[in-house]
Chains A and B, each alone.
Chain A
Amino acid sequence: MIAAIENIGRFTLDTSLSLRNTLTFAIQVIIRLLNLRTYNSASRMVFINQFYFTSVQILPLFLFVAVIFGSLVNGMAFQVIKNLGLYDYLGRLLMGFVVTEVAPFVTVLLIALRSSSAINAEIAVMKVNRELNMLDTFNIDPINYLFVPRIINGMLSMVLLSSLFSLVVLAIGLFVSSAVFGTSVDAYNDTVLQAASLLDIVIVLFKCATFGFFITLIPIRLGLSASMELTSIPVVVLGGMVKVFLSIVVIEVLSLIIRFI
């Protein structure tokens, strides 16, 4: 009984400490993000390479997923809408559900699965190989050189890829809408535009950027917590990915609360 209570207490303390460390690290990174002196030729190169691996290389697969997903979601949803006679809600479905919820979620999952895990392992390996020590020896700040470019890449990739996903789904929506309802381009545009709100778009873009920030920040922080042993790498990658998914859920919930307040 006492052991169980101790376990709960330990878990709570560990969680709050981890949360505090993550937030402290996040504040540190944000301060550097806003400092122009952070940016130099070396960090630009890291950013370009990271962005290439995160967004450009994944683009064909990503567009393929967007097309398949868009066709399925649009096909099913439009059929239901048609059966219920709720054509007026078509725009709200597309803008309020697909663009603001589904697109960021699918994108964040894809990026987290591909890039967050890679960043987590990469930082852990650098720590074990003493490459981070080397940076310190040569007066190279790892936050400026390694972390900030990766985090900017995460934020930008999320915003761009999620927006592309939305555009692809909306474009497919036009085809499906004309096939199911026989609507014209203008009618479809009007329906979608009526449901579109600039504030919602801003909130979605901000949500995407927040997703991107945390799905790169958390793997970096967990990667840094690796010990000098190779065996610690899988452990920190595992922990990092679990925390990445938790952060996705938390951000999703918070964004929903903000939208519906």
Chain B
Amino acid sequence: MKIRALGLWEVALFFLLAGVIVLNAWLSPYFLDVYNLIDSTFSFSEKALIALPMALLIIAREIDVSVASIVALCAVLMGVAADAGASVPVLALLSLCVGTAAGAFNGLIVNALGVHSIVVTIGTLSLYRGIAVSIVRDGSYTGFPGGFSWFGQHYLWGYVPVEFLIYVIATLIFGVLLHTTNHGRRIYAIGTNPDAARYSGVPVTRYRVALFALTGFMCGLAAVLLASRLSSVRLDIATGWELQVITMVVLGGVAIAGGAGTILGVTLAVFLIGLLTFGLSLVNVPGIVMNIYIGCMLIAAITLQRGATFVRLHLLSSNKET
């Protein structure tokens, strides 16, 4: 457990992050500008919010690829409600409830069918997005009440975005949840060996539904921030987010086979991707080319992870021999 908390992986990410910062600062004089840096957090805060529960899911050997569709569904329903004259708290609550329900539905189906969650959530990916699209069609919702923009556009004390602060608080909560509570220990147990966890009295199916519901809840939260920031909802909202979210988690060192990973790693990966994207945009690298850099980084990360596992096994076996 202790090895996991401060693994080779987090150290490697930390140096990679430092490298990206130094390189960017050298490439562009605008990178280290405080206001620019703060504004760069808008590009990743919402996705990073979803990466937190996704990390828990993947550690528990599950995955949810329907997250972007849940965000879209929540955003569209908020748009409908706003047109009907709903107030700001009602809109936020609606989004959180719809998200939680959609996530819980994923979890219940996974339990009921006993198939891998990737199959189920590929299905609900189409389902949720389909519902959203059939409601919004080729129009858009822009009738949000005035106070709604507070979530996604307001700065606290003049320069801390509300969005970013929410992300930081969520990270702390998830870190504490995963690393210091009984729930966190059980999530690792389920991901390492679900059968043995069940035989040890861990209610595996209940945890599964809870984790999917939590993921849906965070999607609902992200949808509030996103809709508030854009102040308009169209059918292509949050397209492709699922892959960006999973990239953050996997780059953060969460083992795709389950059982290992830390919130610290995911946080480092979030900033790594966020600052790399920001730096590249400052030197006028187009968005499509940016994907190449991020793809390369992910593959490098997985290669490194394999290497680290190999080294650990090697060290372990040599320990045994002596």
Q: Do A and B bind each other?
A: no
